[in-house]
């Protein structure tokens, strides 16, 4: 029998070792073949090109970060990268992503459909498995780098994120001699606000302390981040009209914490909400470089705001 495939019929033998491969959207078939060959995932570039052309794989290849076995072979590599077979996909969920953003990223990487993921996030029975007493999993989908199989059941993906949150939160929530001022649910809400407001690591607990001081004095939090949560797209600077949007999430209009988290906070924000810095600051304004000026009085805050506007 004569082999009609390019160069060789033999395929490389798979090994137990896996290699991470980043597939960028703009990567050509030729460059992809070079990358896979250099990492010993395929052995024959011409054969890879032939299969890609003959079976029309090129438009079906999904961008993302994959963990592929050494010696996968040309045809199977294409099946894995196109979603024809389940592949191990590495995905990093950034701190501060909302539930909708996570859903879109999961769908883009072929892990699970966005609408099915969101439905699983609102599954009351699933949430109760992890003692989440909220309408959805917003705030409890822990930001981390995960390894998923493509075309995973959405419920399994949500469970994985909730399980990681439970583990990290239990680790951070060390016993304290004094009763904590916030319930676990309130702590997650505060952490989500801190996540969106803080930029540099050393300011996370300080910003949490500002919000705790305002909560104790029943001063509205006036967090721009909670208003941004209401908008179709995030803005750099809010308008006066934005701060007047009627919603329980608008902390300019309503004192106290909003009814739920505004994003999914990471480890630093959760730690800050559990252990806010003790100080007497009530205000802060962004300098524009990621840091903030903190003030104790409204007059100090007004002067700091004028200074920032002048410098920028």
Assess whether 48 and 130 both reside in one domain: no
- Output the pLDDT for position 130: 96
- CA 38, 44, 49, 54 dihedral sign is negative
* Cα separation, 143 vs 152, whole angstroms: 18
Residue with tokens 């959760």: 270
Residue 109 lies in a domain: yes
Assess whether 106 and 72 both reside in one domain: no
Assess whether 99 and 115 both reside in one domain: yes
Residue 8 lies in a domain: no
Residue 152 lies in a domain: yes
Those residues whose C-beta lies under 8 Å from the C-beta of residue 213, and which sit 6 or more positions away, are: 219, 279, 280, 281, 282
Q: Which of 38, 61, 85 is the last residue of a domain?
A: 85
Are 78 and 51 within 8 A, CB to CB? yes
Assess whether 26 and 111 both reside in one domain: no
* Containing structural domain, residue 28: 18-85
- Give me the CATH number covering residue 73: 3.30.1490.480
* Cα separation, 217 vs 237, whole angstroms: 27
Assess whether 164 and 212 both reside in one domain: no
pTM of the predicted model as reported, rounded to 2 decimal places: 0.87
Q: Number of structural domains, the chain?
A: 3
- Structure tokens of 139? 């705030």
Helix axes 114-121, 154-172, angle to 10 degrees: 50
- Output the pLDDT for position 135: 96
Q: What percent of the chain has pLDDT over 70?
A: 95
Assess whether 168 and 104 both reside in one domain: yes
Is 196 in a helix, a strand, or coil? helix
Residue 178 lies in a domain: no
Those residues whose C-beta lies under 8 Å from the C-beta of residue 255, and which sit 6 or more positions away, are: 218, 219, 220, 221
Q: For 276, which DSSP code?
A: P
DSSP string for residues in 118-156: HHHHT-HHHHHHTT--SSS-TT-S---EEEEETT--HHH
Residue 298 lies in a domain: no
Assess whether 197 and 221 both reside in one domain: yes
Q: pLDDT tens across 246-255, in order? A: 999 999 999 9
Residue 44 lies in a domain: yes
Q: Which of 118, 150, 172 is the last residue of a domain?
A: 172
Residue 291 lies in a domain: no
Q: pLDDT tens across 219-254, in order? A: 999 999 999 999 988 777 888 999 999 999 999 999
Assess whether 76 and 111 both reside in one domain: no
Residue 288 lies in a domain: no
Using CA atoms, how far residue 299 sits from 166, 222, 262, 282, 294, in Å, is 42, 17, 30, 11, 12
Q: For 59, which DSSP code?
A: G
Q: What percent of the chain has pLDDT over 90?
A: 83
Assess whether 100 and 168 both reside in one domain: yes
- Other C-beta atoms closer than 10 Å to the C-beta of 277 total 17
Assess whether 220 and 159 both reside in one domain: no
Are 19 and 67 within 8 A, CB to CB? yes
Q: pLDDT tens across 46-97, in order? A: 999 999 999 999 999 988 899 999 999 999 999 999 989 999 999 999 999 9
Q: For 115, which DSSP code?
A: H
Are 169 and 184 within 8 A, CB to CB? yes
Assess whether 267 and 251 both reside in one domain: yes
Assess whether 43 and 118 both reside in one domain: no
Q: CA dihedral in degrees (142, 148, 152, 153; nearest 10)?
A: -30
229: phi then psi, degrees, rounded to nearest 5? -60, -25
Is 69 in a helix, a strand, or coil? strand
- pLDDT of 7 higher than 80: no
Q: Which of 172, 202, 226 is the last residue of a domain?
A: 172
């Amino acid at each position: 029998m004569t082999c009609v495939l390019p160069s060789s019929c033999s395929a490389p033998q798979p090994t137990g070792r896996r290699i991470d491969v980043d597939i960028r959207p703009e990567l050509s078939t030729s460059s992809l073949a070079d990358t896979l060959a250099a990492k010993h995932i395929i052995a024959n570039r011409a054969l890879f090109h032939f299969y890609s052309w003959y079976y029309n794989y090129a438009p079906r290849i999904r961008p993302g970060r994959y963990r592929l076995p050494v010696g996968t072979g040309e045809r199977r590599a294409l099946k894995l990268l196109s979603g024809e077979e389940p592949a191990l996909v590495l995905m990093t969920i950034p701190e501060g992503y909302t539930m909708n953003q996570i859903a879109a990223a999961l769908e883009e990487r072929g892990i699970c459909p966005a609408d099915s993921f969101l439905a699983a996030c609102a599954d009351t029975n699933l949430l109760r498995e992890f003692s989440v007493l909220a309408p959805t999993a917003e705030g409890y989908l822990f930001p981390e780098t995960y390894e998923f199989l493509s075309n995973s059941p959405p419920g399994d993906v949500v469970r994985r994120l909730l399980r990681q949150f439970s583990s990290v939160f239990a680790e951070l929530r060390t016993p304290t001699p004094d009763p904590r001022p916030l319930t676990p649910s309130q702590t997650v809400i505060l952490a989500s606000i801190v996540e969106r407001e803080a930029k540099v690591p050393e300011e996370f607990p300080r910003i949490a302390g500002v919000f705790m001081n305002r909560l104790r004095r029943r001063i509205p939090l006036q967090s721009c981040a909670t208003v941004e949560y209401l908008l179709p797209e995030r803005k750099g600077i809010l308008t006066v009209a934005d701060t007047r949007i009627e919603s329980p999430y608008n902390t300019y209009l309503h004192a106290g914490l909003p009814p739920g988290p505004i994003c999914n906070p990471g480890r630093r924000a959760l730690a800050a909400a559990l252990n806010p810095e003790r100080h007497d600051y009530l205000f802060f304004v962004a300098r524009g470089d990621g840091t903030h000026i903190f003030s104790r009085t409204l007059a100090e805050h007004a002067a700091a705001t004028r200074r920032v506007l002048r410098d920028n």
